[in-house]
Structure 1
């Protein structure tokens, strides 16, 4: 199989994973199968299923896939929500926190269409506490940047800041509020479509790497 002459694989992904940790994943796949090339297309989470059904993508990586006969989840990892702070912040050393323990700090909050904005809004409303909003943004990159600039703290998934955790710029503190449910990052295919040998090989390798997340 390592001697596969050539092959091309099309992958549809959400923007959140197109960072160093995913490029490292692809590098690992390339090391095993150097003759397989790939096209990476970043699209909105809700459009990935249609891309799989139509054949525009061989497989997709998406959040919270809906149960459907037209979609098969091959691997998944749960992504918890938490407080994101600069590494020198007073909360950075905590192993976990409740939202009520963070309200004295200014926040940079997510807004639609970011999927995380809905549970964050519900968390704020349920708490009944007034939150100090420094900024609201629908761009994860901007939220990360403002937190790094120490303008406030944020609520994101660990997935959103894996690179910054690795570089020591940001810390992730899990939220323990019971109403918060983890997001599911899933590697999906359309069961109605037969994958090429190259796509099947790459999918198997990604399944193994997913188990390490």
Structure 2
């Protein structure tokens, strides 16, 4: 869109970004999945970006290929994968 941004905060921590927003110190662009709980609880609001397309992000569930997961870890990974597919599908 030709817009230049001058970021005040730069961090790779989603929790830090969310705390800055909750503390009224910043606005941020985050994937809906990362703030779904805060939106549901009314702590944050999502403001759609104008235009035909939003910003697409990729979220990966990473599991070491040479590691045998425990039963509980397998169930958790399955749940996360299913949840991510459902959220991103609709």
Give the TM-score normalised by the residue count of structure 2. 0.57
Runs of 4+ in 1 over 4 A off after TM superposition: none
Alignment correspondent of 1:30: none
CA drift at 1:200: 2.1
Residue from 72, 75, 82 that aligns with 1:201? 75
Which of the pair has more CA radius of gyration?
1
Alignment correspondent of 1:173: 47
Q: Does the 8 A contact of 2:21 with 2:28 survive in 1?
A: no
More strand by share: 1
CA drift at 1:189: 0.4
CA drift at 1:170: 2.9
- Structure with more contact order per residue of length (Cα contacts < 8 Å, sep ≥ 6): 1
More helix by share: 2
Q: How many residues align?
A: 81
Unaligned runs of 5+ in 1: 1-97, 101-108, 117-138, 148-152
Cα 1:184–1:110, aligned 2, differ >3 Å: closer, same or farther?
farther
Alignment correspondent of 1:183: 57
Q: Does 1:154 align with 2:27?
A: yes
Unaligned runs of 5+ in 2: none
Alignment correspondent of 2:11: 113
Cα 1:191–1:110, aligned 2, differ >3 Å: closer, same or farther?
farther
Q: Does the 8 A contact of 1:144 with 1:161 survive in 2?
A: no
CA drift at 1:144: 2.5
